[in-house]
Amino acid sequence: MARSSTAKVSFRALLVLAVVALGVYALDQISKFLVVTNLTEGDVVRVLDDVLQLHFVRNPGAAFSLASGMTWIFSIIATGVVVFIVWFAGRIRSVAWSVVFGLLLGGVLGNLTDRLLREPGFGVGHVVDFISTPWMIPAIYNVADMSIVVSMGIFMILTIRGIGLDGVRTPAAAGKDAPAKDSSSKADSTADGLVGPAPTESAP
């Protein structure tokens, strides 16, 4: 019975991972297609003044336009990440962790597709970036980049909380409040002893 329950949770986790990854990938590629077909490289469209702008650029580097000129290295790294997630996915039992790896997989696949299929060539293609928020960060990014960053944020939260791949908190994390409870219990026991019935005197 426990084995079938574990298999069911595993299937649900894999399904969530796949749906999240495909959703992010589709949103990333569709948004890039709309930008490429409707804007000219270098165009800036103010959506919300300086809060949100569309600024079409082609990025040969990593996320947020970092390390330009090392495209082929990032292509290799991204391929390795994709292979690892696909191989590792069967160990995930937690829906929260499935979301983490789904966001990461979808984001990595989105930018990897650009590097493999876009100009100037296979493996060294430039990633399409178009989202600009000058008030928050002086870089231009895309949906895939945002997905990767969000996945890392959730990863940190789950790790700090001590939640494992099976969705269960580790004993160390779950027992952080135990000392307070133990001391409280001891205090109560001591108090009970102090206020308990006084010993009866033996009759003369």
Separation CA 190–CA 6 (nearest Å): 44
Structure tokens belonging to residue 11:
């299937």
Neighbours of 178 (CB within 10 A): 10
Name the β-bridge partners of 53: 46, 132
166 an active-site residue? no
DSSP 38-67: H--TT-EEEEETTTEEEEEEEESSSGGG-S
Structure tokens belonging to residue 127:
């990633």
Separation CA 9–CA 5 (nearest Å): 6
Q: Is 109 exposed, middle or buried (0-12, 13-18, 19+ CB in 10 A)?
A: buried
Catalytic one among 49, 145, 166, 182?
Answer: 145
Catalytic one among 129, 177, 182, 192?
Answer: 129
Separation CA 54–CA 165 (nearest Å): 38
129 an active-site residue? yes
Separation CA 188–CA 195 (nearest Å): 10
Question: What is the set of active-site residues?
Answer: 129, 145
